Structures are given as structure tokens and as C-alpha cells.
Amino acid sequence: MSTHSPSLRQVLSETWRVIAAHPRHFLALSALFLLPVSFSAVLYYLHSISTISTPYTQPHLLISILYILPTLFFTLCAIPSITTTTFAAFHRKPISFRLSLQSIVLSFFPLLATKFITQIIFGSILFVFGVLVLVAYIGLTLLGLEIEYDNNSPYFLVFVVMATVVLVFVFVYLQVEWCLSSAVVVLESKWGFEPLRRSSRLVKGKRWVALSMTVLFASIGSVLTVLYSNLVRSKGGVCQGWVVFVQMVVYVVVSTVLSLYGLVANTVLFAYCKELTAMIDEETSGKYVALPIV
């Protein structure tokens, strides 16, 4: 393997090869862990739009919790099982359902802790950013700029757009930097802040590929969600006949497949980055010797 960064096409091609080599294995893992997540999302969305005109009450909070907890559980089961399988298949090693399930036991709580820390960081950034925006808003107001939102001020629109762009840029940058953190937790037995630092190091020099993957899967997922939302709203949020049922099934299946490809592609990118980083480190130390690829 050369020390050149893999392209998005290479990552997606290898993703297809890995899944095509073990279709039944990935189908079983998807049915066990990813399908419930997609199905829960549909049910929660249908419930949300059916109660959108009612005041927020305690049952709404309970239903939200009943959606979040199973979704979190199945997601934390899907990541290690699919990541372990993908990494073994990438290196053309034998895979087993037992090892995939065993990885859940080993990685569940480290993944949970790492995700929790990540969310704390994002929340802290959002809070600090909100404070800075408020300070900037007050400062500009004191300077005499009319940026009140209720008087159609162009300054207010520019202010909001600039603040939103900065916030989105920060979040996207961190998402790219930490995109391999879950794979690091599962495959390198790290947790907490260490997977975040390790991911940032691995993705160095491959950020455009990571960004392209992030944008690609996020765009497809967003388009899929918008299309399904429009279909449901056109029916008034009520399942009327088999047509809407088929639409729901199609959305759940496509969303599940998209989630599977996203997890596999992320692990494939991790495998490429890990090998390239190891090669660069060895070349730098003068110990690397290129081996022929069989």
C-alpha cells in the first residue's frame, strides 16, 4: 500500500466489497441492532406530528425517554458488532457471530462514556458560543447598530447568518476530527478523551475524505428524511391504507441500509488511516520496508 491518502471512491468501493463478501452476517447484525433504531425513529416521528398541536405534557416526556433509551442501547450494540466484523473482513480474516456479539460486551460502556464526554464537549461549546453571541449582540447594540429582530433589520439577518455559519463550521470540524473515535474505542480498547485525540491523529491528511463521507451520508439521510416527512404530512400524519405502510417499510429499510453502509465505511476509513499512519511512522523512523501485496 502506498502512503497516499485513500480517495472517497476507494473507501466506498472497499465498503461494498466488505458487505458483499458477508451479506448474511451484516444482514443479521442490521436486523438485530439497526432496524430497531430506524423503526423507533419512524414511530417517534409519527407520534410527534400527531401531537404537534397539543401542549407539552408529562406523557410526551415519557415517550421521548422511551425512544431515546432503546435507540441509544441498540446504537451502542450496533457500533462495536459491525465495526469488529468490518475490520476483520477488511483484512480478509474469518469472522464469527460470536466475536461480533462479544465485542458489544467489551465496548458498550467505553463507547457510552466516550459518547457522553463528546456530548458534554459539544454542549459546552454551544453554551460558550451562545454567551459570546449574546455579548456580541449587546456590544453591537450599544454601538448604535439596529439589529432588533422585529424591525426587519438587515444587520440582524447578517448577524444570525454569520453566527450560524461559525457554529456549523466548528461542529463540522469536530465531527471530522472525531469521526474515527468509535472505531478507536472498539478496535484499540481506548475510551474517554483518548479516542478523540487518536482519531484526530489518524484522520490527519485525510480530512477531505472524512469530510466527503460525512457530507455524503448526512445529505442522503437528510433527503430521505425530508421525502418521508413530506409523504407523511401529505397524509395528515395518519397511516391510511397499505400505501402509507409500504412507504414506512421502504423508509425503515433504506434508512437501515444507509446506517449500515455508514458504519462500515467509517471502519474502512479507520483501517486505511491506521495502516497509513503506521507506515508513515515507520518510514519516519527509518524502519519501514515496503512489502509486495499478494
DSSP state of 56: P
> How much is the pTM?
0.85
H-only helix segments in the chain: 8-21, 23-29, 35-50, 58-90, 97-142, 154-177, 181-188, 194-202, 207-234, 241-285
CB 196 within 8 A of CB 181: yes
Rounded Cα distance, 245 and 138, in Å:
51
Q: What is the total residue count of the chain?
A: 294
| Of 79, 88, 86, 85, nearest in space to 107 by CA | 79
Rounded Cα distance, 101 and 83, in Å:
11
CB 1 within 8 A of CB 293: yes
Contacts for 145 with CB less than 8 Å, ≥ 6 apart? 155
Rounded Cα distance, 14 and 17, in Å:
5
Tell me which amino acid residue 223 is. V
Specify the pLDDT at position 293.
41
Specify the pLDDT at position 42.
84
**Residue ranges in the chain modelled with pLDDT below 70:** 1-4, 49-59, 144-153, 232-243, 281, 283-294
CB 190 within 8 A of CB 184: yes
The three three-digit cell numbers of residue 88, written as one number: 476483520
CB 221 within 8 A of CB 255: yes
Rounded Cα distance, 183 and 268, in Å:
10
Rounded Cα distance, 281 and 224, in Å:
41
| Of 32, 104, 38, nearest in space to 67 by CA | 38
Tens of pLDDT, residues 146-170: 666 655 667 777 778 888 899 999 9
Specify the pLDDT at position 145.
66
| CA-based torsion, 71, 74, 80, 84: positive or negative | negative
